[in-house]
């Protein structure tokens, strides 16, 4: 399963923010990847990482504390694999520069997600879409590549619906999200806004859910991604939860399953075969709870080291066919951990040949 | 507008619980009603109210602190108008006993809500349904009567959809609720269950929403309520909010309105005419917010003294016709305040003749 | 009690922030003061207030929504009475400029609090210190004046200890605060920092408590303030509470009182006589609770329209003499409301003669 | 370091509550102890554990889910080592019955903590007090024994002060606690009481802190515990935190240290030598943070698998000598984990000879 006997040096762009810190936590002790460089904006560049970042969770790894923060340019950052936690405001140009310079960029930004030649991947769901990279290189003339992962709320939905779509053909989705504050980064949501409150709006979140889902559940025909024929209507809400986006779903299908049939499919789903055994792959990817009051973000968010998706309350729907609730860790499964799993899948499947070459 | 120059003595059953306390707060200084009796279970009966109740919010009115708690029987409690905050486990028999004894019972329990001869009323929405009481007395042989108000989550939805239903004919509703902890009473939800968490389940809540809504939006034909032809699919969630149930709605109509048309109807809606000017009637009943991040429970819950419903994010829906968000105070608008407004409407419209007579 | 038949035009500096908004809320419908101008930084100046401010709580008064935000200069802002919610970074120069231009500045910033010629006043506690203004004008050559109110945590402590100091002579104080997030302004404390958490540090708060208290409880000898001979040791903490700073106190006295004697003094305290009947003066100023679990910020913070201080758990101490808990609203009593009460006291006592004259 | 090649069968009394569940989580995979029995009240007895308990955190170990819940009697429960999470209302008689029947009882209840012949032990702090068991057996005539661990808030204080007491002689302590809701068990604190709130009272907590601390920091003279000569004044508060009690301390010493000297002692403290290397012993026991805003419960509570105590803000005090802040996990370090570490120390030091014999 290990891609080779050699380890890969990797870098994190946007390393001081909340997602950047999650990359650092998850890469600590990683069996294949060595975090050798951290990069951020001009304000942080030149400082030690410890000095530049306000570390938010757990213990800052000693091996990273002393790294000097670099600027986000392919001249300064030399690692062949680059995890990007950059804001969309700067991600467009920076990520392209790295791909042009021969690096594999694993991006959390929205900029390239919907581009025809850029894979938008949740490995278990559509790991085969990574084959789109050949097309990307041809089109863009890059020696490197950009692979994106989905918006964190979309990730919950796609992970929960992929098995059902494969089995019964999803056609319509109502999705109401209750999203954790960590999804807004740091400092992000002001405590005066969210303590004891619900904010029924997250900027740009509903369109992301509605557009990304059809690409994630689409099919790769050897050349391009054919989007799934699904119409989604999303309601995005912020709730006073630290980590974990919870989503209530009502779903219509081409072939209506009973709740029992759906549960059977969800319980037995294994996802894209090549993902099995990767270092960050949760086993199982989906956890199905029988209790009627689960999933709950605070209690279920860390399952599978934050990479599992927990599903519950699968039941009949009066208007569509099924209702269910799904939840996963927005910073791990929905951001940093998802990018790392994408990189692992590329490494394990030998698609990193030539990456990092000048 | 005042029903007469005389004031009505009233009692509260289940007076020590969270809704019972809300009745006491809202009746303090009421222009028409004098709270003269409080009643509760055997555990509290015989004690002073101050001794029996753990007062939760604001200041316990001095006039109530010293009242001796009575048992919930029409022998002990003599007031002609009785506000019931009883649990459904005991409400069935107790409320019937009071109605049989000639009292007007304004109930918050679910027991009689769906009975054919019992009005389920939100005054602005379907105040005309109170005329069903003539039928109730005939059927039951009661000299008194039972009037119910709806489940607190259903109340939010019905208040927001009534104007749209009247104008465009609602046919389908997806409703995802994010409900405050006070909806579960006291002690209710354990802090270990809800701090920083979401619980995607509230026992019996979804069926209540789905069944009560069609009666609330139904029409009274002079004899009985014809239920509205609406199919509802509900997802009920508990969130760490003190007061205020927030609901995300996707709605289909017979005659599809644009968001602008819907907003126009909502802004100009006045509701059942006889409600206007009642002591507890909010003015306006619906508050429409233009900001995309409203309503918010902590910031909007007290509008109209907790009796107004705040609506926002009225926008197009990809699957049905409209999406919107609505919120109101679950303990005031959705419980005690709703009951009091029902009683005010009955008093103002002269329907209390004979109430309290032996 | 009304200072004259005329109303005073007033302005708010720093009007868009959390304390600035509190001024606007509290001045709405004020019987003596008319809010005619709002001022803020260059970023907001020239916009309508509604456009410039993200309104945080309740309903933005319509009379203010359309005001054009001015710059914080005495040339642009012409009102004779100026409430300052400015940050300490700019308050020093700006407030002096207004005082020099003949205006009465009621400041919430720390800059002038400890200056020998500037009154630091909680009206009930040391309203007589306002007489220091004569000295201030002499020293500074200002036709206007600066009056400051205390840090919000210090305000809780001073209000609770003033009666005891007057009766028994406070000598030593241990104070541990649990402070609401609104004390940090907006956006202030990040939700990721405080949800389900305690932060045992607030920058510069402990020194403020330790130094301001002795001035507040000091005596005015006709020329200057003689600081009280009290040593204070403070521990400042931030907790996930919206409004209301709670303080645990252990106190030593010159003449040790029993808890009963202390309670007697607290219950009968009326404070500086001239405060009684002022529009914003709470009646009573101190609320003493007998229950052992009060005060609580969420339940007691709005007593006296947010201007009362609630005290409980007065009991013996093993090391010093007494322990007690005190709490008040940090934004109202501890900031905007305190400033307004200062202005009312000045107006009622005829000390505004000449204010606003060129 | 392992006590012998054999493993010990153990039982948990009061297994369905919050602390009982913590025992089960912490014993899962324990290298020395096999959890073979769970016991609870009559309401649960006879059911499977899964059926009887509402599992609160993480995943219920499969090996426990199917255990039949027994009654808390030495006839039904046969394991030689018994961890007691019983309420004080029943712990007195039940724990004595087990000790009389030859079992080692590790108790979290307050009943025997202050008894002259019962060790009250935090292993690193006063592990040598376990030698008191010889005296206990003599006095009580028991073949088994009772060992207690301290109240969860006292545990934080004792762990932080032990090194300083050993080096400089603590004489006076002001302690203000901010305690997590899990300290009250389940369902425990109602969400309506604590959301966005502080409760400045915890029943019986302040006396426990004041009395237990002097025993924990006392010295064993071969026969009995000489209590430390320390006077403590405690203020106990409940805050909306899930796990982790935070305590602000002001401390006076016989030999006043500088903050630097105190930090030096804290950093180099290793505690009772025999604890080193025990399976549940954190390494280090004390974590000293340099940042001025630590410890924080949500961010530091899991250090050392919940067994470490985090200390910060060591600084001079104006009234006593030092101020500091300490925090540890109330359910792990302060309850179940503490009991397990006590049992490990007894096992490793050969003091279990005869335990479990008839």
| Residue C246 shares a structural domain with residue C322 | yes
CA distance B57 to D288: 41
> What is the spatial distance between Cα A227 and Cα A213, in angstroms, rounded to a whole number?
9
Does residue B155 register a pLDDT over 70?
yes
Mean pLDDT score, D20-39: 97
Question: Beta A231-238 vs A225-226: how paired, if at all?
Answer: unpaired
From chain C, the residues in CB contact with D292 under 8 A are: 201
- Where chain A has pLDDT below 50, the residues are 1
HEC profile of chain D: CCCCCCCEEEEEECCCCHHHHHHHHHHCCCCCEEEEEEEECCCCCCCEHHHHCCCCCCCCCHHHHCCECEECCCCCCCCCEEEECCCHHHHHHHHHHHHHCCCEEEECCCCCCCCCCCCECCHHHHHHHHHHHHHHHHHHCCCCEEEECCCHHHHHHHHHHHHHHHHHCEEEEEEEEEECHHHHCCCCCEHHHHCCCCECCCCCHHHHHHHHHHHHCCEECCCCEECCCCEEEEEEEECCCCCCEEEEEEEEECCCCCHHHHHHHHHHCCCCHHHCCCCCCCCCCEEECCCCCCCCHHHHCCHHHHCCEEEEEEEECCCCCEEEEEEECCCHHHHHHHHHHHHHHHHHCCCCCCCCCC
pLDDT score for D302 = 97
CB contact under 8 A, A192 and C188: yes
- The span from the CA of C64 to the CA of C201, in Å, is 36
Query: D189, D162, D198, D115: which is closest to D324 by C-alpha?
Result: D162
B165 and B291 share one domain: yes
Q: Is C141 left (phi over 0), alpha (psi -120 to 50) or beta?
A: left
Find the chain B residues whose C-beta atoms sit closer than 8 A to any C-beta of D: 18, 56, 181-182, 186-196, 240-242
**Residue D344 sits in the same domain as residue D312:** no
Confidence of residue D6 (pLDDT cuts 50, 70, 90): confident
Question: Taking the model in full, what pTM does it have?
Answer: 0.97
β-sheet with A286-288: strand ranges across: A231-238, A170-179, A245-253, A322-328, A309-316, A286-288
Most B-contacting residue of C18, C25, C58, C284 (CB-CB within 10 A), to test interface: C58
Measured between beta carbons, which residues in chain C are less than 8 angstroms from residue B56? 299
Is C205 within 8 Å of C211 (Cβ atoms)? no
Tell me the CATH number at B320.
3.30.360.10
What are the tens digits of pLDDT across the range C12-47? 999 999 999 999 999 999 999 999 999 999 999 999
Q: What is the pLDDT of residues C288-345, one digit of tens each?
A: 999 999 999 999 999 999 999 999 999 999 999 999 999 999 999 999 999 999 999 9
* pLDDT at residue B2 tops 60: no
Binary contact (A242, C192; C-beta < 8 A)? yes
Split at pLDDT 50, 70, 90, the class of D159 is very high
User: What CA–CA distance (Å, rounded) separates D1 from A221?
Assistant: 61
Q: Give me the pLDDT at residue B291, please.
A: 95
CB D84 within 8 Å of CB D336: no
- D123-148 tens-digit pLDDT: 999 999 999 999 999 999 999 999 99
List the beta bridge partners of residue D233.
Answer: D174
User: In C, which residues are within 8 Å of B299 by CB distance?
Assistant: 56-58
- Indicate the DSSP class of residue C199: B
Query: Nearest-CA distance from B244 to chain D in Å?
Result: 13
A289 and A194 in a single domain? The answer is yes
- In this predicted structure, the answer to whether residue D2 has a pLDDT above a threshold of 90 is no
The whole-number pLDDT of residue A5 equals 57
Q: Check CB contact under 8 Å for A319 and B293.
A: no
Please provide the average confidence, as pLDDT, over all residues in chain D: 96
Residue of A135, A243, A245, A329 marked active site:
A245
Chains in contact with D, counting 3 or more C-beta pairs less than 8 Å apart as contact? A, B, C
Contact present, C278 and C341 (Cβ < 8 Å): yes
Q: Averaged over D223-235, what is the pLDDT?
A: 97
Residue A356 falls within a domain, yes or no? Answer: no
Give residue A352's pLDDT: 83
Beta bridge partners of C235: C176
CB C105 within 8 A of CB C82: yes
For tokens 């028409």, the residue is B32
Q: Residue range D107-115: average pLDDT?
A: 97
Catalytic position from the list A152, A165, A272, A329:
A152
Residue ranges of chain C whose CB lies within 8 Å of a chain B CB: 56-59, 195-196, 242, 298-299, 303
Q: Do C176 and D235 touch (CB under 8 A)?
A: yes
| DSSP assignment of A322-348 | EEEEEEE-TTIIIIIHHHHHHHHHHHH
Of the candidates D129, D245, D272, D329, the residue annotated as catalytic is D245
In the residue annotation, D152 being an active-site residue is answered as: yes
Instruction: Please check whether residue D2 lies inside any domain of the structure.
Output: no
The mean per-residue pLDDT over the stretch B205-225 comes to: 96
**Rounded to whole angstroms, how far apart are CA atoms B247 and B326?**
5
Q: What are phi and psi of B230, to 5 degrees?
A: -125, 135
Local structure of residue A95 (DSSP, 8 states) = H
User: Closest Cα of chain D to C23: distance in Å?
Assistant: 23
Residues C197 and C317 in one domain: yes
Whether B296 sits inside 8 A of A178 (CB atoms) is: no
Q: What is the pLDDT of residues B163-176, one digit of tens each?
A: 999 999 999 999 99
A189 vs C contacts (CB less than 8 Å): 190-192
pLDDT of A1 reads 44
Q: Three-state SS for C148?
A: strand
> Do the domain assignments include residue C2?
no
State how far the Cα of B288 lies from the Cα of B267, in Å rounded to an integer. 7
- Report the catalytic residues of C: 152, 245
Residues of A with CB under 8 A from a CB of B: 172, 174, 176, 178, 195-201, 210, 231-233, 235, 237, 239-242, 246, 248, 250, 292-299, 312-313, 317-320, 323, 325
Question: From the candidates B56, B240, B299, B306, which should be mutated to test the interface with C, based on the most C CB atoms within 10 A?
Answer: B299
3-state SS string over chain B?
A: CCCCCCCEEEEEECCCCHHHHHHHHHHCCCCCEEEEEEEECCCCCCCEHHHHCCCCCCCCCHHHHCCECEECCCCCCCCCEEEECCCHHHHHHHHHHHHHCCCEEEECCCCCCCCCCCCECCHHHHHHHHHHHHHHHHHHCCCCEEEECCCHHHHHHHHHHHHHHHHHCEEEEEEEEEECHHHHCCCCCEHHHHCCCCECCCCCHHHHHHHHHHHHCCEECCCCEECCCCEEEEEEEECCCCCCEEEEEEEEECCCCCHHHHHHHHHHCCCCHHHCCCCCCCCCCEEECCCCCCCCHHHHCCHHHHCCEEEEEEEECCCCCEEEEEEECCCHHHHHHHHHHHHHHHHHCCCCCCCCCC
Smallest Cβ–Cβ distance between A240 and the set B196, B293, B295 belongs to: B196
Instruction: Return the pLDDT at D240.
Output: 98
Give the model's pLDDT for residue A6.
74
pLDDT at position C1, please? 43
Residue B245 and residue B297 in contact, taking contact as beta carbons nearer than 8 Å? yes
- Is D191 in contact with B18 (Cβ distance < 8 A)? no
In tens, the pLDDT along B232-257 reads: 999 999 999 999 999 999 999 999 99
* pLDDT tens by residue, B276-319: 999 999 999 999 999 999 999 999 999 999 999 999 999 999 99
Q: Output DSSP code: residue C76.
A: T
Please report the pLDDT score of residue D301 as a whole number: 98
- The verdict on a CB contact (< 8 Å) between D186 and B192 is yes
Cβ count within 10 A of residue D55: 18
Tell me if B248 and A231 make a contact (CB, 8 A cut-off).
no
- Hey, are the CB atoms on D192 and B195 less than 8 Å from each other? no
Question: What ipTM describes this predicted complex?
Answer: 0.96
For D301, which residue in chain A has the nearest alpha carbon? A58
Select the residue of B56, B192, B193 nearest D192 (Cβ to Cβ): B56
Beta carbons of D250 and D161 less than 8 angstroms apart? no
Name the pLDDT band for C356 (thresholds 50, 70, 90).
Answer: confident
Pairing of strands A245-253, A322-328: antiparallel
Shared domain check, D162 and D40 = no
Q: Shortest CB distance from A195 goes to which of D58, D196, D242? A: D196
CA A270 to chain centre: 18
Residue B355 is assigned to a structural domain of this protein: no
The β-bridge partners of B311 are B288, B326
The answer on B304 and B157 residing in a single domain is yes
Give the active site residue among D152, D165, D272, D329: D152
Q: Which chains touch A (3 or more CB pairs under 8 A)?
A: B, C, D
Q: Which chains touch B (3 or more CB pairs under 8 A)?
A: A, C, D
pLDDT value of position A356: 77
Instruction: State residue D3's pLDDT score.
Output: 54
Query: So what's the pLDDT on residue B129?
Result: 97
Q: Residue B3 falls within a domain, yes or no?
A: no
Residue with tokens 């927990």: A310
pLDDT of residue A355: 83
Is residue D3 a part of any domain in this protein? no
Tens digits of residue pLDDT in C213-270:
999 999 999 989 999 999 999 999 999 999 999 999 999 999 999 999 999 999 999 9
Q: Do B242 and A176 touch (CB under 8 A)?
A: no
Which one of B172, B229, B235, B317 would you mutate to disrupt binding with A, by most A Cβ within 10 Å of its Cβ?
Answer: B235
Are C127 and C190 in the same domain? no
More reliable by pLDDT, A356 or D172: D172
CA–chain centroid gap for B181, Å, is 17
pLDDT tens readout for residues B311-354: 999 999 999 999 999 999 999 999 999 999 999 999 999 888 77
Residue C237 pLDDT: 98
Average pLDDT over residues D320-337: 98
Using CB atoms within 10 A of its CB, is residue A279 exposed (0-12), middle (13-18) or buried (19+)?
Answer: middle
Same domain flag for D189 and D266: yes
Domain shared by C275 and C342, yes or no: no
CATH number at residue D35: 3.40.50.720
Domain region containing A299: 152-329
Domain count, chain A: 2
Q: Same structural domain for residues C194 and C119?
A: no
What b-and-e string marks burial along C266-284, b requiring 16 or more CB atoms within 10 Å of the CB?
Answer: beebebbebbeebbbbbeb
Q: Within a domain: residue C355?
A: no
Determine whether the interchain pair C237/D296 forms a contact, defined as Cβ–Cβ distance below 8 Å.
no
Give the catalytic positions of B in this structure. Answer: 152, 245
Instruction: Please give the interface size between A and D, counted as residue pairs whose CB atoms are below 8 Å apart.
Output: 13
Interface test with A, best of D55, D197, D198, D299 (most A CBs within 10 A): D299
Query: Is residue A293 situated within a structural domain?
Result: yes
Q: Are residues D291 and D222 in the same domain?
A: yes
Q: Which of A56, A58, A196 comes nearest D196 by C-beta?
A: A196
Residues in A closer than 8 angstroms to B170, CB to CB, are none
Candidates A178, A200, A302, A330, partner chain B, best to mutate (most B CBs within 10 A): A200
Residues of D with CB under 8 A from a CB of B: 18, 56, 181-182, 186-196, 240-242
């Amino acid at each position: 399963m290990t891609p080779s006997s050699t380890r890969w040096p990797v870098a994190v762009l946007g390393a001081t923010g909340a997602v950047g810190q999650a990359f650092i936590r998850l890469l600590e002790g990683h069996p294949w990847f060595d975090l050798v460089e951290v990069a951020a904006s001009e304000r942080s560049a030149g400082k030690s990482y410890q000095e530049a970042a306000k570390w938010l969770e757990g213990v800052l790894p000693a091996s990273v504390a002393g790294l000097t923060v670099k600027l986000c340019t392919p001249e300064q950052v030399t690692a062949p694999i680059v995890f990007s936690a950059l804001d969309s405001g700067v991600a467009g140009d920076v990520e392209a520069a790295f791909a042009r310079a021969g690096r594999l960029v694993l991006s959390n930004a929205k900029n390239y997600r919907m581009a025809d030649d850029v894979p938008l991947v949740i490995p278990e769901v559509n790991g085969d879409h990574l084959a789109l990279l050949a097309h990307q290189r041809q089109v863009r003339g890059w020696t490197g590549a950009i692979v994106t992962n989905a918006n964190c709320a979309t990730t919950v939905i796609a992970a929960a619906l992929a098995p059902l779509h494969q089995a019964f053909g999803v056609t319509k989705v109502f999705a109401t999200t209750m999203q954790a504050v960590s999804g807004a980064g740091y400092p992000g949501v002001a405590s005066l806004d969210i303590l004891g409150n619900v904010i029924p709006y997250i900027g740009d979140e509903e369109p992301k859910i509605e557009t990304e889902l059809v690409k994630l559940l689409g099919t790769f025909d050897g050349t391009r991604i054919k989007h799934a024929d699904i119409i989604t209507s999303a309601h995005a809400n912020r709730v006073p939860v630290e980590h974990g986006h919870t989503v209530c779903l009502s779903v219509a299908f081409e072939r209506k399953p009973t709740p029992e049939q759906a549960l059977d499919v969800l319980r037995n789903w294994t996802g894209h075969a090549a993902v099995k055994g990767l270092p960050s792959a949760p086993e199982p990817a989906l956890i199905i709870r029988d209790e009627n009051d689960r999933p709950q973000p605070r209690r279920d968010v860390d399952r599978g080291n934050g990479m599992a998706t927990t599903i519950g309350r699968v039941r009949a729907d009066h208007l569509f066919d099924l209702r269910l609730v799904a939840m996963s860790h927005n910073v791990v499964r929905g951001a940093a951990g998802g990018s790392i799993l994408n990189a692992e899948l590329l490494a394990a499947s030998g698609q990193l040949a030539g990456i990092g070459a000048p």
